[in-house]
Amino acid sequence: MARLLIQLADQAAASQSLPAAALATLQAAGVTDVRPSHPELPGLYLASVPDTVNADDLVAKLQGVPGIRHVDVERFRSAF
């Protein structure tokens, strides 16, 4: 499983949700868990990407969405 960190382009608009085009892109990829990363870090969102989705391709799609400054993929593995 991978996790995306998504940063909005306009920190002043950080109280808003992700742009509709970004949400549509995530939903089309099957991403269902999208949430703010932390209350003290406005404008940052985390999205859990299913294993069946190529996270790098999804990052490339999201980087072209107006209102998104940066998208990065974080891969994590279980120690168990």
The CATH number for 40's domain is 3.30.70.260
- Per the domain annotation, does 80 fall within a domain? no
> 39-54, pLDDT tens digit by residue?
888 889 999 999 999 9
CA-wise closest residue to 29 among 62, 65, 6 = 62
- Per the domain annotation, does 70 fall within a domain? yes
DSSP string, the chain: -EEEEEEES-GGGTTS---HHHHHHHHHTT--EEEES-TTSTTEEEEEEPTTS-HHHHHHHHHTSTTEEEEEEEE-----
pLDDT of res. 77: 57
State the pTM of this model.
0.84
10-residue mean pLDDT series, the chain (80 residues): 90 72 95 88 91 94 94 71
Handedness of CA 7, 13, 15, 18 (dihedral sign): negative
Q: CA torsion 53→54→56→58, rounded to 10°?
A: -40
* Domain span at 57: 2-75
- Per the domain annotation, does 33 fall within a domain? yes
Q: How many domains does the chain have?
A: 1
